[in-house]
Homo-oligomer: A and B are copies of this chain.
Amino acid sequence: MRDAPSHGFASLLPLQTCDLTFTAANGSRLIHGIDLTLDAGSLTVVMGPNGAGKSVFLRLLHGLLEPTGGTIKYAGEPLSDAIRKRQALVFQKPVLLRRSVAANIDFVLKLRARPGSTQPDPVRRDELLDQVGLLDRAAQPARQLSGGEQQRLALARALATRPDILFLDEPTASLDPASTLMIEQITSDAHAAGTKIICVTHDVAQARRLAGDVVFLSNGHLIETANADDFFSNPKSREAQAYLEGRLIV
C-alpha cells in the first residue's frame, strides 16, 4: 500500500509565491505580499497566532481563494486544475458528506478512480479506514462521529486522493495523545514516501517533532521562515519569540 504520489509526473516543487496578497470582499487585507519558496525534501510547518491568516494562506496555495495580487507557482507553473488535483487539504473544520463513514471514502475513491472503473475499491477503503482507526465505524453516519474521529476521517479522505502535496490545517487539534502520535506517524510516512506536507499547527511540541522548516505568519505578514532547529532554538523575530513563550503578540 502506498499513500505517496501514485504516478511518475514531474514534481510540483518548488512552490514559489511572489508578493502574494489577498484582500477580502469587505476590504480588509488578510495576506500582505508574501514571498516564499518551499522545496521538496523537508516537512513544512506553518505557525502563527489565531487570525494570523494561516488557513487563508493554505486556501490560497490550494487554489480555493483567488489571490488579489501576486503569483503562486508550482515548479514554475501557475496553479492549474491539473496541479490542484495532485493536492489535498484537510480543513480545520472538516466538512463530511451526510453519508456513512465508508461512503465518505468511497466518494473520493470513485472520484479518483481510473476512467472506466466506476466502483470504488473496497480493499483500499478498508485500508484507509484502518490506518486512521475507524474501520469498525465504516457503517456509521459520518456526522455522528466524535470530534476526533471526524478529523481522522477527513485525513483518511485526503489520503485517498494520493496527493503529491498535502495541506494539513491543525489536523490533530482535537485528537487524544495516542491518535495524535498515530497521525504524526502517518504524516511522517507520507513525507518519507515523497509527499510534500505543509502543516498548520499550534502544538509547539508537535511542530518540534515534525517540522523540517517553519513558516511563521502574523497578522497576514510572513514574519520568519527558518530551519526548524534554528527556529525553535533561536527564533529571530520578536513575534515568534512571543508566540513560543505563550505571550500575546501586540
Complex interface bits, A36-64 against B, C-beta within 8 A gives 1, otherwise 0: 00000000000011111011000000000
Residue of B nearest to A181 (CB): B246
Any chain B CB within 8 A of the CB of A174? yes
Instruction: Determine if B174 and A173 form an interchain contact, defined as CB atoms under 8 angstroms apart.
Output: yes
Q: CB distance A178 to B51 under 8 Å? A: no
Work out how many copies of this chain go into the complex: 2
**With contacts A93-B93, A173-B173 known, is A178 near B246, CB below 8 A?**
yes
Known pairs A48-B176, A173-B174, A180-B246. 6 more at Cβ < 8 A? A50-B174, A50-B175, A170-B174, A176-B243, A178-B243, A180-B202
Q: Which residues of B contact A133 (CB under 8 A)?
A: 248
B178–A248 touching, CB < 8 Å: yes
Interface residues of A (CB under 8 A from B): 24, 26, 48-52, 54-55, 92-93, 133, 140, 144-149, 152, 169-170, 173-182, 202, 204, 242-249
Interface residue from B50, B169, B174, B245 paired with A92 (Cβ < 8 Å): B174
A202-B177, A204-B177 in contact; A148/B247 too (CB < 8 A)? no
- Which residues of chain B are within 8 angstroms of A175 by Cβ–Cβ distance? 50, 202
